[in-house]
A and B are shown apart, each in its own frame.
Chain A
Amino acid sequence: MLVMVLIFYLIPLVMTVYLSFTSMKNWNVKYLFDLVGFYNYHRLFYMFQHDPSFKAIVLTTIVFILITLVVNVFGGLGLALGTFFLSDIVGSKFRLLWLLPRIAPIAVYSLVWYYFFHETSIGTLNSILMELGIIHQPIPWGQIIPWGAWSVIIFVNGLVGVSFGMIVFTSALNQIPKELVIAARVDGASAWTISKRILIPLLKWHLLYVLTWQFLSLLTTYCHLFLLVEWNLVNRDYGTTLALYVYNTAFLGGELDQGLAAAVILSVIGVSGGFLTLKLLGFEKMMKRPRGDV
């Protein structure tokens, strides 16, 4: 395992950081020793100020993360609480259904929404709205900038992330003694009151945990976005986040050296977020030493 960590985490990490200080282009080894200092970082900053495309990407990243985070956390909380009040069998069926976005193959999941939001009348959304007479022409939803594109990517990723919060909250809810809920029921509390006054206050820490963890995931996820952008379902600039930008510069041709600088920035945010989460989790508690001397 240590070897794998070395090969697939440490060495690549060092390489990425190192390369971000070179003028690496197109994976051409001849740039390998062409050190340029902080030039790439400067350029990134410059682009942010003057390149509308890149500005759009940064803006998209921020909006995408914030709104999707809210959708994920509250969607997950809502589903966990909702299914908590249903009988176990029905509740777990619903929870299972909402795992689908997470475990379906990424290409299939994206394909499904590709058809749903398709810009022609083949798109499900368009045909429904046209049938209802709300619109008369098919609308290219993902190409309306910025909010059309944002809505699509937030919707698609929002559904994927909901299951994480749902599962964490559900397992936390199952640890709360049932008598607390029943006692409140005897006193006449509704499901809504029980959630608001008893369950959610008891889930405070889990909320924080899901919030930070999901933030990190959203910061670094890009696989669904990649397909949506590649298939032209959403606008290229307003459907791309920083993580996807890094990938695209690296593998679809582009300013690789700047992509690498962006990657390093992402990593810094990621690692600090990781440590923050550890603190929140009360890491020492989990570190129980093994018993015995064997």
Chain B
Amino acid sequence: MRDIETKSRKSELLIILTIVIASVPMILAFSLLVLSSFSEEMVTNLKSFRPTLENWINLFQGKMAITGSIRVNIFEITLNTLIVALGVAGLVTIVSTLAGYALSRMDFRGRKHVMIALLVLHAFPGVALIVGVYLLYKLTLPQDPDLMRFYSFFYVILARGALEIPMSVWLMKGFFDAIPWEFEWSGIIDGASRITVWRKIMLPLVKPGILAVALFAFIAGWQDIIYVRTFLIDQTLATFIESNIESEFSHMPLIAAAGTLYLLPTIVFFLIAQRILLQGYSGGLKG
């Protein structure tokens, strides 16, 4: 906020100091992880930073342990994570854009109930659902191994996407609500069909909204562990880290490197999408 300019800067410094102190553990913990990935030993004990790129080289070569021959394909794992994230982002964006438009602009029967249902669903314990979702998965899983793998991708995207949809629809509805009706009316008066109006007028206007929804859905898909480990047959970065933490042979700095790799998109978003991150959340949360 733009405060009065003549006040002493002491109180401002005090606030900054307080927030910084509160943030120290978080900053420390994250930076130590990133640092460790470039170090021969974990530096989480604040000692012995001996820089090396070996962890990253080993990670990309899939050498899980310093000795031994356990190998993984980290590229494939990353690709799996990306598929899930992009799938969730695509699905959520399409569904919520269409549904958001319908809820904002069309007065159909049961509209109100759909909206209430969406909000209540959002508050619904995911864990109660995942059990039923899993049973459905068990019952529909194809037998053919290749098909099974494909199906598990398909299913995890649907299931994880479904979890994001209620809020995203609300968010999209908010963006559509913000567009004056006059734009649309003038389009219709000029003789365009509703579909054309939607494509030519509404879509460009809600682009920022679509971007925000896509970004959040991507983050949700990218960060997920529960759905991925429950449904997906292949490994993602999340399950890779999960399963290698306690194992005897894994070299800890290498896991740190995997974690840093996994964190990379988050950092990229921090750098390029600050406004969307800060505003999008608030728009969605206010409903």
Contacts and interface: CB of A to CB of B under 8 A. Distances in A.
State whether these chains interact. yes
Interface in B7-34: 7, 11-12, 15-16, 18-19, 23, 25-30, 32-33
A186 B7 CA distance: 10
10 A-B pairs with the lowest CB-CB distances in the bound complex, closest first: A12-B132, A274-B123, A8-B162, A15-B132, A127-B45, A220-B125, A263-B128, A171-B282, A107-B238, A274-B120
Contacts of A36: none
Chain B, interface SS category: helix
Given A4-B165, A8-B133, A274-B124, A106 B16 contact: no
Interface of A: 1, 4-5, 7-9, 11-16, 19, 27, 29, 79, 82-88, 90-92, 94-101, 103-108, 111-116, 118, 121-124, 126-128, 131, 159, 163-164, 167-168, 170-171, 173-174, 178, 181-182, 185-186, 190-191, 213, 216, 219-220, 222-223, 226-227, 230-232, 243-244, 246-247, 250-251, 256, 259-260, 263-264, 266-267, 270-271, 273-275, 277-278, 281, 283, 286-294
Q: How many B residues are at the interface, by size bracket?
A: 35 or more
A237 B170 CA distance: 38
Interface in B108-153: 112, 115-117, 119-136, 138
Contacts of B169: 1
B127 A266 contact: yes
Interface of B: 1-4, 7, 11-12, 15-16, 18-19, 23, 25-30, 32-33, 36, 42, 44-47, 95, 98-99, 104-107, 112, 115-117, 119-136, 138, 158-159, 161-163, 165, 169, 177, 181, 185, 188, 194, 219, 222-226, 230, 237-239, 241-242, 245-246, 252, 255-256, 259, 262-263, 266, 269-270, 274, 277-278, 281-282, 285-287
Nearest to B36: A115
A72 B165 CA distance: 25
Chain A, interface SS category: helix
30 contacts: A1-B169, A4-B161, A12-B136, A13-B132, A15-B131, A27-B135, A84-B1, A86-B1, A87-B2, A96-B274, A96-B278, A97-B27, A98-B23, A99-B278, A99-B281, A101-B26, A107-B237, A107-B241, A124-B45, A127-B46, A168-B286, A190-B11, A243-B125, A247-B226, A264-B128, A270-B123, A270-B128, A277-B123, A289-B107, A294-B194
